[in-house]
Amino acid sequence: VTVAVDVMGGDHAPHAILQGIVEYLEQEPNPAFLLLVGQPEVMTTALANVNPALYEIVAAPTVVEMDDHPVKALMKKPDASIPTCAKLVATGRAGGTFSAGNTGACMVAAIQIMERVPGVARPALGSFMPTITGPCLFIDAGANVDNRPSHLVDFAIMGSVYTNKVQNLEKPRVALLSNGEEDSKGDQLTKEARELLKQAPVYFSGNIEGNAVFEHEADVVVCDGFAGNLFLKGVEGMGNLGIAHLKKCIAAETNPVAKKSLEDALHGLMLQVDYAEYGGAPLLGVNGVSVIGHGRSNPRAVVVGIQVTARAAASGYVKAMQEIFATLEPNTEK
């Protein structure tokens, strides 16, 4: 498998990205071949001790900044690292791409250059959520707002195919995020989507409440991208509140044994809730693998992000998604 990595994107790019790349190539027993996309002059020092057979540098002279307007930036900088990565996937040179850069630009580049899977009206962002027994896939994490019910059905199918192919779940349980489990609960969008989901080619388990997501009652949780973004950021904020509290306790603890015990507890909590352990969000519904990392990605997040991208590329989920949407009526609601 070949993975195109955007070296220039992210709050701590290029240093954190390059450090993650080096760690990935050093640690991984059977690493993917990497296309390192960006300004070659920023890469040389960091890569000095890496086996040159493991990667190739692809020059991309310009950079989409984190706060650039996605569409405008892509028009002005067609040779930037983000669109170059998308082109490497679209032309088949790479099996997938990972970027911790401008999320909007990554999505627009993937949609414009890899194009939508025929039949999908709106590609959506999947995001992995911590639960008591491992991650579940949350979709849409914020690619879209003002969705129509049929869009949520597409999200359900995309999430189902992804978890089936990439996570090897035979029958991924798909649930619809709502304000109650009963059929009568939900806003208009959710109620209409629920009726459509009962007919969709997924294992639909009904509504799920926000707190039940953490009990791992579903493998895929479907939601409009606006409410989904609020939900995920709220969860992230609460996770950070818990982490900050434990750090304060550690700082105030004088007994070394107790301090160590608190540090272990913090480490365990961070393994569960830290975005870095989930390695980024796949953009689903485009003809290629595009995994988008958190802007704050540290080297660890980059390592996991490249692993996730390589696994997704090897799984063949894009082909499976194209096949299932080819059997359905195309979604004409924009």
- By three-state DSSP, how is residue 272 classified? helix
Q: State how beta strands 289-292 and 203-208 pair.
A: unpaired
Q: Which stretch binds a copy of itself (CB under 8 A): 20-28, 58-66, 93-101, 254-262?
A: 254-262
Q: Is 333 exposed, middle or buried (0-12, 13-18, 19+ CB in 10 A)?
A: exposed
Would you state the structure tokens that stand for residue 320, as one six-digit string?
A: 């499976």
d(CA 12, CA 29): 26
* Residue 287: CB minimum distance to a copy of itself, A: 26
**Position 133 contacts a copy of itself (CB under 8 A):** no
Question: Given the complex with a copy of itself, which of 258 and 326 has the nearer CB atom?
Answer: 258
Check binding of 227 to a copy of itself (CB under 8 A). Answer: yes
C-alpha closest to that of 103 among 9, 12, 37, 15:
9
Q: How far is the CB of 126 from a copy of itself (least distance, A)?
A: 16
- What is the amino acid identity at position 319? K
User: To the nearest whole angstrom, how small is the minimum distance from the Cβ of residue 220 to a copy of itself?
Assistant: 16
Show contacts of 110-114: CB within 8 Å, 24+ apart.
Answer: 110/86, 110/283, 110/286, 110/288, 110/290, 111/286, 112/74, 112/83, 112/86, 113/83, 113/86, 113/87, 113/89, 114/86, 114/89, 114/90, 114/286, 114/287, 114/288, 114/290
- Of 40 and 210, nearer to a copy of itself (C-beta) is 210
Name the β-bridge partners of 286: 116
State which amino acid sits at residue 16: A
Question: How far apart are CB 125 and a copy of itself at their closest, in Å?
Answer: 11
Q: Which of 42, 50, 212, 328 binds a copy of itself (CB under 8 A)?
A: 212
User: Which residue in 177, 185, 232 sits closest to 208, CA to CA?
Assistant: 177
Provide the pairing of β-strand 136-139 with 220-222: parallel
Residue of the chain from 9, 96, 225, 305 that contacts a copy of itself (CB under 8 A): 225
Which of residues 191 and 300 has its CB atom nearest to a copy of itself in the complex? 191
Can residue 269 be called a binding residue for a copy of itself (CB under 8 A)? Answer: yes
Interface segment toward a copy of itself; rule CB under 8 A; list 5-13, 22-30, 50-58, 229-237: 229-237
Task: Note whether 11 binds a copy of itself by CB under 8 A.
Answer: no
User: Residue 71, interface with a copy of itself (CB under 8 A)?
Assistant: no
The site map against a copy of itself for 135-174 (x = CB under 8 A) is: -------x--xx----------------------------
CB of 248 to a copy of itself, least distance (A): 8
- The total of other beta-carbon atoms located within 10 Å of residue 88's CB is 22
Q: Which stretches of the chain bind a copy of itself, using CB under 8 A?
A: 130-132, 142, 145-146, 177-179, 186-188, 190, 209-215, 223-227, 229-242, 244-246, 249, 253, 255, 257-262, 264-265, 268-269, 272-273
